[in-house]
Chains A and B, each alone.
Chain A
């Protein structure tokens, strides 16, 4: 297998003495930093922490489901565990996963700026995220919450006596973290591009984060007001969602899904940006149909706001609106398919190599396609009635979110790790981890499609004995998946000290971030670059290298 990793000569290469990590020392220099790269690292550590909490909860769920009876924990404990798994994974991991870490780190560099437009708001965003996260943990420790991650009324307002208020406030606060991240990205991408960096020279990672930012800015406030009204209803008993007073619980679902459906695009779009970068770099080709891929991100963001009701087909909404929303849901499949086809055409006749990020990207393409196609089953109102609230839907969104987004996140972390830290991770073991993750994932979630088709409902601690075989498969797969997620943590931490020095551009990629030192300077660029090349122009990169050689010679 030919590799394009070109590590610099080990006798001469070293980590640059002055970089964003060594620029200042001490804990305060991190906690009060305005540097987007340091905030990205803070976010990376925090979301990894919450990912493992959410992962541990997922492990408990799978252990409970190993047997048909509810024996590991009582049914109401199980309710709390899966609710907290959803809340932690969605609000504290998936939503900030790529934007707040890789996006924070890379977007200013990719557009050729020294920082995001509002460094202090960026730091505030991390603090809000941490307050929201700690409040969520507090709610979990002091009794938990058992409404599911959807806080559905009137269950959340009248029928449960768990920490709905604390958790609601936590999500409200964490939501502002997301709003501020999105706001910062939009302003930065609009106003701070380097000279010559036109919209159509931007890397597709920037485009997809831009689209996700629009969703964050416009969607999150609606979730905020929905949660405020739930909290007011629980605490002082106003009647906006209370049917006994004339309120309508469905209104809550409309407001909630008006955010929470676009939220799945907030989660997946930045991941798609990562995949565009990785596929292009490891096929040595410009992304096929650059502008189609760029605009498909924006199209997903726009269509994403008009499909929310497909979460409510069985909740008693009008048949006519079901018809319209079913049709609109099919429309979202179009821009997603545009992306998948364009990536496939980028691979066509490319010089493909199989480095770790590329393996994760392949995993993404396959699993996201399955997740997306099963979404069509759920978007058609007829099949939806059979499949919704079963394990089919669980499998569907885990294929998109874990198989898609988490794979993309890991692809991105492996792709930019040399830039973040200046060091390489061990190649073979990381390739192994990618393969283990892929196998474990399919073992875990494919049986759940079958369970859902057979009619096993989601959100129950016990199930009829005939479903046990497939559940044992799923739990066994989750064990493999767990190993797949632990491995990167181990070798990435190991690489911080013992990894080979990566040099500026180990993948020979074209983005601006690869033309500067690794790890970058605090101010990113010594001089603000003047951009003349298109994105993914590998010939330009070759010319640059030739020029360097002649200059040295």
Chain B
């Protein structure tokens, strides 16, 4: 696309790296623009998730007992494990960015593989949780039955949850709607991120980042941390409602 315009610029070509795009005056400008653009994109993501957080805020205030009961059906062990997995993957990604900056190809490849594996582990644990919801008839719309909240059964070794009146029990469907919408959108972002991780891994193995052109990795790092932060909010809001009761 840019090649036909080269003629006018050839004189000044030696001064800047080959990966500087022609419409930027300097490498600093290109780098700043890329990261500024990424931050703006993350802002749009905040607004995107913000819509769901607003819905959560409203309904949690209206249907607090249903939200508590719904939250107690989630596995706190799996949730905590997943939080740990995701934070670790953020660390490996940060290591990846550092390796890229210091031009350590081996370290970069290792970090990307670890991030990918941890991402896969997160989605694996998430799918176990989703399956559990399916078995328990807690999937809104497709397979939902509120009766387990009206007549709660005691788990072995634990006291039964307090029963809910029928109308409040039915509102647990709103809780699970939000649970699936929020964690589903989060998982979708993970899947997109892992697609990009695979792309970067191939590029890294081919040595595409050895020349210091690592804007893509840096900006992907921001994206990955953002997805992580979304989970940091989702975890307490969905799993840890009134655990002391």
**Chain A residues in contact with chain B, CB under 8 A?**
23-24, 32-35, 108, 113-119, 121, 179, 183-184, 186-188, 190-192, 217-222, 224-226, 228-229, 232-233, 236-240, 245-248, 251, 254-255, 258, 522-523, 526, 528
Contacts and interface: CB of A to CB of B under 8 A. Distances in A.
A18 to B, nearest CB: 10
Contacts of A218: 43-44, 47
Contacts of A258: 51
Interface stretch (B77-85, B115-123, B154-162, B173-181): B173-181
A195 to B, nearest CB: 9
User: How many of chain B's residues touch chain A, expressed as a range?
Assistant: 35 or more
Contacts of B134: none
A24 B170 CA distance: 63
Contact of B142 (A33, A117, A237): A237
B10 interface: no
Given A114-B23, A523-B5, A238 B181 contact: yes
A246 B59 contact: yes
Contacts of B29: 191-192
Given A221-B47, A224-B48, A239 B174 contact: yes
A312 to B, nearest CB: 15
Interface stretch (B30-38, B99-107, B206-214, B228-236): B30-38
Contacts of B23: 108, 113-117, 119, 192, 523
Contacts of B8: 523, 526
B177 A239 contact: yes
A375 B141 CA distance: 41
Nearest to A234: B141
A119 B1 contact: yes
A172 B25 CA distance: 35
B33 A187 contact: yes
Contacts, number: 138
Nearest to A184: B37
A245 B140 contact: yes
Contact of A191 (B32, B59, B62): B32
Contacts of A237: 140-142
Contact of B36 (A119, A121, A190): A190
B44 A248 contact: no
A57 to B, nearest CB: 30
Interface centre among B25, B45, B170 (most CB of A within 10 A): B25
Contacts of B62: 246
B63 interface: yes
B22 interface: yes
Contacts of B165: none
Given A117-B23, A528-B25, 11 more contacts: A119-B23, A191-B29, A218-B47, A219-B47, A221-B47, A222-B48, A229-B55, A246-B66, A247-B174, A251-B55, A258-B51
A232 B43 CA distance: 24
Interface string B48-67: 11111011001100110010
Nearest to A32: B1
A246 B174 contact: yes
Contacts of A248: 58-59
A240 B58 CA distance: 11
A387 B129 CA distance: 51
25 contacts: A23-B4, A33-B1, A115-B22, A119-B1, A183-B44, A187-B36, A187-B40, A191-B36, A192-B25, A192-B33, A222-B48, A225-B52, A228-B185, A233-B141, A239-B173, A240-B174, A240-B181, A246-B59, A246-B171, A246-B174, A248-B59, A255-B51, A255-B54, A255-B55, A523-B22
A32 B1 CA distance: 7
A522 B25 CA distance: 16
Given A191-B29, A238-B180, A217 B51 contact: no
A522 B4 CA distance: 9
B2 interface: yes
Given A119-B23, A224-B48, A240 B177 contact: yes
Contact of B40 (A24, A113, A114, A217): A217
A187 B35 CA distance: 10
A23 B21 CA distance: 19
B183 to A, nearest CB: 13
Interface centre among B5, B43, B52 (most CB of A within 10 A): B5
Interface in B119-176: 140-142, 170-171, 173-174
A238 B59 CA distance: 14
Contacts of A254: 54
